[in-house]
Chains A and B, each alone.
Chain A
């Protein structure tokens, strides 16, 4: 099974194929080679199902990692193709022409990470409501500061707590101190 995949991908250069288990294959490759890889997998090995595209923000190395999860109904194998692209400017090619469901995944990643996909049919806002902040899934997005700025907090000082505090007791750590 896995040898079949290696045979199909023999022409591609600079790729690392790792067999995590019998039915899981991880492929690391350069971002330029990804369209060729997807085309080969789809055309030769029946990887017709793009399950998801996931994105990881590696802020320390200044890169986004994109993971394309592909499933083949013939080989019953899950292939994860990992590429890394520079965080700035954060632009990559759409695979919409190969896999049409990619449009939603790319739109979602665009909204959550601010990564732009060239050639994707629709890059409008998707799930977030009334959003005018930075993309929230980026590592440099300060969720706590955003929450403090946007939402209200309930102040909670019941009477029985006042009585306790007068006797020297009370809450050890207040929520405000933990935040």
Chain B
């Protein structure tokens, strides 16, 4: 008992005197790793392996993983297959809408290095260059066992506090934005203000701002609320 108290005491110093902070962190991670909502952005053929992985044959739900319908309520973004330039835009928009902590899994060889579309003019080859990717599940395409194994590895990572790619997106935003701008042009802007978010959450790193974000800030327009207008047709007299 006294030994345990000592252990807690050591962490208490690090956690600004709150003896329960470490416990809560661990509990949070424990719970977080066991209730993951997954947004599968089915970009390519790898999506065909997800229905068996989700339904009764391999049953993802026993790991606490369920599909989710909106990005704002999802924890995992699953990118299954080749990413065309047009799709990549949507993936980035989706990713930025998700609330932290968020994890990205790239499935299939195509997200790793272009796969069999390595010579195509239309697909982006390295997903990692545009988004922080927590885990790749390679294969063309990976079987549901491999998908489940990858998700288990992600669960272990979350529990051990290793899956922190979403922080990397804030801390190295200049790098990611630069790669996005090289594909989408210099006037690329997403509705989400990543710089303001990074500042708000205290995740500004030394690589958050750079020449690419400077370019963004030069033309960035603040997000305006959509105008709601109700048009009532006038009654004929």
Q: Distance (Å) between the CB of A129 and the closest chain B CB?
A: 4
| A130 touching B185, Cβ below 8 Å | yes
Q: Distance (Å) between the CB of A50 and the closest chain B CB?
A: 26
| B112 touching A154, Cβ below 8 Å | yes
**Set A127, A133, A175, A179: member contacting B121, Cβ < 8 A:** A133
Q: Distance (Å) between the CB of B214 and the closest chain A CB?
A: 21
**Set A130, A152, A153, A156: member contacting B85, Cβ < 8 A:** A130
Within 8 A of B (CB), among A104-130: 127-130
Within 8 A of A (CB), among B70-116: 84-86, 89, 112-114
**Given A129-B89, A130-B184, A153 contacting B121 (CB threshold 8 A):** no
What's the Cα separation between A150 and B86 when bound, in Å?
14
Within 8 A of B (CB), among A132-157: 133, 136, 141, 143-144, 146-147, 150-154, 156
Question: What A residues does B30 contact at CB under 8 A?
Answer: none
**B128: CB under 8 A from chain A?**
yes
Within 8 A of B (CB), among A22-45: none
| A154 touching B119, Cβ below 8 Å | no
Instruction: Digitize A55-94: 1 where CB-to-B-CB distance is under 8 Å, 0 elsewhere.
Output: 0000000000000000000000000000000000000000
Instruction: Digitize B117-153: 1 where CB-to-A-CB distance is under 8 Å, 0 elsewhere.
Output: 0111110111011000000000000000000000000
What's the Cα separation between A147 and B122 when bound, in Å?
9
Question: What A residues does B112 contact at CB under 8 A?
Answer: 154
For the complex, would chain A's binding face be called helix, strand, loop or mixed by DSSP majority?
loop
What's the Cα separation between A133 and B85 when bound, in Å?
14
**B192: CB under 8 A from chain A?**
no
Q: Distance (Å) between the CB of B72 and the closest chain A CB?
A: 25
**B183: CB under 8 A from chain A?**
yes
What's the Cα separation between A9 and B118 when bound, in Å?
47
| B120 touching A143, Cβ below 8 Å | yes
Q: Distance (Å) between the CB of A124 and the closest chain B CB?
A: 16
What's the Cα separation between A127 and B122 when bound, in Å?
10
| B126 touching A154, Cβ below 8 Å | yes
Question: What A residues does B118 contact at CB under 8 A?
Answer: 147, 175, 179
**Set A128, A147, A152: member contacting B129, Cβ < 8 A:** A152
Instruction: Digitize A145-179: 1 where CB-to-B-CB distance is under 8 Å, 0 elsewhere.
Output: 01100111110100000000000000000010001
**Set B86, B120, B125, B184: member contacting A153, Cβ < 8 A:** B125
Question: What A residues does B179 contact at CB under 8 A?
Answer: 152
**Given A147-B119, A147-B120, A154-B126, A129 contacting B113 (CB threshold 8 A):** no
Question: What A residues does B125 contact at CB under 8 A?
Answer: 147, 151-154
**Given A153-B126, A154-B125, A156-B113, A144 contacting B119 (CB threshold 8 A):** yes
What's the Cα separation between A11 and B1 when bound, in Å?
104
Q: Distance (Å) between the CB of A132 and the closest chain B CB?
A: 9
Question: What B residues does A154 contact at CB under 8 A?
Answer: 112-113, 125-126, 128
Query: Top 10 nearest A-B pairs by Cβ distance?
Result: A129-B86, A154-B113, A151-B125, A129-B85, A136-B121, A154-B126, A152-B126, A152-B129, A146-B121, A143-B121
